[in-house]
């Protein structure tokens, strides 16, 4: 016990001058390997499951890490390097996200981990119409690579038809529950259903988010708390690199009347930007729970670029957004959405080409977007 207390005191003397919060794991499950690597993963680093930058320092059986203040509060969990080996409760059930709110004082938080999950082989929920276009599609505009998903209509291989194309963000959450951290949209099941019921078919290109780069890539504007600034380059990648590749290699209807872009949250923000920035490329878009709060420049941008007559936008938000996220600004999503819709119409945006829907019980999650995807698609593609 004395040795452990001395460790805590020494650690604080060394780290205290420049740290904001230090997490020290006091108790580990007996099943923890002797030389285990333990990581902290959360919303501040993209929920990656574990990256080297956030690996805890080990001294004897003690693990610790100091996190500088980045935002007002963070959500997080501890893992052994992946979500297959994440902390759980004594009954092997997922625990709620841990939270920490920063203040001006240097803090130390003692953590007890009850149990680690048992690594399981996740069962894929993707339909047979899903494939991987590329595990590492090069993004020359950002000098990095990204996994790209491909959905083809059920009759693609048995017909010679051309199809509209939908570009979507956060590809990890679109098709396969085995790859999703917080639930999937069931895009493939929804489109399979629409094809079966009324023959509607579309190609979907799902672009994985960049993890820690997600906030940077999904906003062309910088937020001093959260980042941003790479959204223009990311949009150029879709327009100048990815779309030409898709149109060349698949039977697409490449005109703007048959090209949509859809996303939620920060993906909704970058979809909105892409629509207004490239109205000759994207004729329509689904802007779901958009993060207009991220930058007031989104409203200024709409004032300059909002006078569009043939572009269609479907707006969606939940009235209870903000209750399950550390980004407190999300609670203003519905209000900001109405504000943006009014602004567009004041700039001459065709009033017949916007639809706005607020779900009274809707929260900021995949459930909201999944349940409203079919209506979004039907409204955007109605003739």
Q: Would you state the structure tokens that stand for residue 306, as one six-digit string?
A: 């909002």
The reported pLDDT for the residue numbered 206 is 98
Name residues of the chain where pLDDT drops below 50: 2, 5-19
CATH architecture of 130-381: 3-Layer(aba) Sandwich (3.40)
Contact assessment for residue 220 and residue 235, using Cβ atoms and an 8 Å cutoff: yes
Other beta carbons within 10 angstroms of residue 357's beta carbon come to 16
Cβ neighbours of residue 304 closer than 8 Å, sequence gap 6 or more? none
For residues 301 and 76, give the distance between their C-alpha atoms in angstroms, rounded to a whole number: 34
303, 306, 307, 309: CA torsion to nearest 10: -160
Model pLDDT for residues 227-244, shown as the tens digit of each residue = 999 999 999 999 999 999
**Contact 354/315 with Cβ under 8 angstroms?**
yes
Residue spans per domain, the chain: 2-116, 130-381
What pLDDT, on a 0 to 100 scale, did the predictor assign at position 120?
64
Position 246 scores a pLDDT of 98
In words, the CATH class of domain 2-116 is: mainly beta
313-328 pLDDT, tens per residue? 999 999 888 765 556 6
pLDDT at res. 284: 98
Question: Taking each helix axis from N to C terminus, what angle separates 333-346 and 297-305, rounded to the nearest 10 degrees?
Answer: 20
The per-residue pLDDT for 352 is 95
Judge whether 170 and 261 are in contact, CB under 8 Å: no
Helix, coil or strand: residue 39: strand
Q: What is the pLDDT of residue 96?
A: 85
Span 76-108, pLDDT tens digits: 999 999 888 999 999 888 888 898 988 877 889
Distance set, CA 262 to CA 83, 169, 265, 292 (Å): 27, 7, 11, 15
pTM attached to this predicted model: 0.77
């Amino acid at each position: 016990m004395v040795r452990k207390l001395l460790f805590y005191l020494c650690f604080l003397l060394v780290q205290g001058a420049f740290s904001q919060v230090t997490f020290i794991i006091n108790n580990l499950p007996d099943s923890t390997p002797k030389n285990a690597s333990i990581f902290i993963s959360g919303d501040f680093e993209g929920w990656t499951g574990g990256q080297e930058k956030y690996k805890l320092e080990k001294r004897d059986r003690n693990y610790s890490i100091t996190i500088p203040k980045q935002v007002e509060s963070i959500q997080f969990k501890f893992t052994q390097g992946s979500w297959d080996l994440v902390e759980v409760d004594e009954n092997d059930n997922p625990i709620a996200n841990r939270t920490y709110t920063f203040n001006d004082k240097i803090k130390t938080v003692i953590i007890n981990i009850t149990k680690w999950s048992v690594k399981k082989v996740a069962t894929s929920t993707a339909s047979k119409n899903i494939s991987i276009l590329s595990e590492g599609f090069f993004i020359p505009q950002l000098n990095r690579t990204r996994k790209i998903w491909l959905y083809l209509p059920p009759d693609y291989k048995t017909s010679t038809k051309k199809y509209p194309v939908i570009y979507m963000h956060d590809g990890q959450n679109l098709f396969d529950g085995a790859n999703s951290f917080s639930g999937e949209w069931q895009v493939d099941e929804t489109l399979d259903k629409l094809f079966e019921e009324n023959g509607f078919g579309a190609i979907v290109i799902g672009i994985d988010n960049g993890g820690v780069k997600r906030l940077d890539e999904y906003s062309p504007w910088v937020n001093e708390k959260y980042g941003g600034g790479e959204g223009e380059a990311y949009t150029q990648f879709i327009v100048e690199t990815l779309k030409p590749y898709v149109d060349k290699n698949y039977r697409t209807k490449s005109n703007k009347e048959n090209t949509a872009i859809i996303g939620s949250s920060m993906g909704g923000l970058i979809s909105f930007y892409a629509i207004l920035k490239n109205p000759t490329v994207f004729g329509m878009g689904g802007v779901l729970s958009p993060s207009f709060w991220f930058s007031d420049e989104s409203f200024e941008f709409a004032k300059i670029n909002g006078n569009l007559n043939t572009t269609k936008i479907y707006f969606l938000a939940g009235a209870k957004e903000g209750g399950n996220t550390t980004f407190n600004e999300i609670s203003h999503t519905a209000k900001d959405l109405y504000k943006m819709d009014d602004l567009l119409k004041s700039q001459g945006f065709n009033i017949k080409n916007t639809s706005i829907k607020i779900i009274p019980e809707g929260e900021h999650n995949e459930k909201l977007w999944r349940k409203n995807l079919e209506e979004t698609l039907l409204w955007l593609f109605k003739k």
